[in-house]
Copies of this chain bind each other. A is one copy, B any other.
Amino acid sequence: MPRHIFDRPQIIAAARRILDADGLGALTIRALAADLGTGPASVYRHVSNRQELLQLVADDLAQELPMPDMSLEPRNRLIAGWSELYDFFGARPWLVELLAAGEVVSDHASPLAAAQLATLEELDIGREEAGRVYQSLNALLIGVLCSSHPYAHGVRSHGESMDRRELFVWAVERFL
């Protein structure tokens, strides 16, 4: 029986498979090892702990973040950009859990950040204010996404409640 060989890319791919299929709670070192056809100890040959594994997955995913569509005029570019970002995260609830838990800081997201900041500066918005707007919209994004598992302060009273995505887009437009 040959001893198994696998590297970080394979581990990350397996981890993402498990995350997409069964969520953050299912991504166990043991489940990951089983998926790779080995025991938990072997995973630690390539990854120093679960924390680092999550960080690696986040960095891997950051490279797939949707970049803004430069063919749109600035304001629409921002709105469309954040909408796509909503869909990106919305399709991966485990990623929201990961960010909300604050266990991950991906610097691989900086190209997108730079693009969005540049677009903000194309509006009448000043450099420093652009930074604040950027941070606010990101906070709004994760806040709305967290509420997707509907939790706090339920206010679906007045009229038919808006879809979470619609609410986010509405808020982005209002904020800009």
Contact = CB atoms under 8 A, between A and B. Distances in A.
Contact of A139 (B105, B135, B143): B143
B152 A146 contact: no
A130 B161 CA distance: 12
Nearest to A144: B139
Interface residues of A, number: 51
B159 A128 contact: yes
Interface of A: 97, 99-107, 109-110, 112-113, 117, 127-128, 130-132, 134-136, 138-144, 146-155, 157-159, 161-162, 167-168, 170-171, 174-175
Given A109-B152, A135-B155, A136-B171, 7 more contacts: A99-B146, A99-B152, A100-B100, A102-B151, A135-B167, A136-B174, A138-B153
